[in-house]
């Protein structure tokens, strides 16, 4: 499967978030700016704790509090920049929802692996079903759960010394 490419957007993630905060009477603090820049520095799925760790490593001594990270992620989700994709180990996993094409996910219950895919045929089917029901579709979210190829492979069993005799 090919990796999803970003799409051109009129406003940078930083400006979009600044505009969202302004509608709430808030400002873009240096900590919030660092969080947005780190989140959008590369396209990958992450949880809040992974982001805290990345920020700590990349900002050296300048600390961004854990609570600021959690609050900012919630605000970014409300602003339409992020979305929660799944839960792994009792943690929400986020991905970019701004600047990336609509896509769906295959999620391995055993390994937690997330596979992104696009399927135009699926889009057509959903549009047809919505039209048949007089439903105005504004978007969709599809998460297919199962086992990845790695999880389905037979495990290599190591034989004990007694079995080798």
Annotated binding site for Zn(2+): 108
Residues annotated in a binding site for Fe cation: 104, 123, 140
* Whole-number Å distance between alpha carbons of 51 and 37: 11
Which residues 6+ apart lie within 8 Å of 44 measured at CB?
95
Task: Tell me the residue ranges of DSSP E strands in the chain.
Answer: 46-47, 82-88, 91-96, 104-108, 114-117, 143-146
Query: H helices within 40-155, ranges in order?
Result: 48-59, 66-78, 120-132, 149-152
Residues annotated in a binding site: 104, 108, 123, 140
């Amino acid at each position: 499967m090919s990796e999803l490419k970003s799409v051109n957007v009129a406003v940078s993630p930083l400006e979009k978030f600044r505009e969202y905060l302004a509608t709430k009477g808030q400002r873009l603090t240096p900590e919030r700016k660092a969080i947005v820049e780190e989140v959008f520095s590369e396209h990958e799925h992450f949880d809040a704790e992974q982001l805290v760790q990345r920020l700590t490593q990349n900002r050296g001594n300048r600390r961004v509090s854990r609570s600021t990270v959690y609050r900012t992620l919630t605000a970014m989700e409300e602003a339409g920049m992020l979305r929660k994709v799944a839960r792994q180990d009792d943690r929400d996993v986020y991905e970019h929802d701004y600047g990336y094409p609509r896509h769906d996910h295959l999620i391995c219950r055993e390994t937690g692996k997330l596979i992104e895919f696009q399927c135009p045929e699926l889009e057509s089917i959903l549009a047809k079903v919505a039209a048949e029901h007089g439903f105005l579709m504004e978007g969709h979210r599809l998460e297919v759960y199962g086992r990845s190829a790695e999880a389905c492979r037979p495990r290599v069993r190591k034989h004990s010394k007694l079995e080798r005799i």
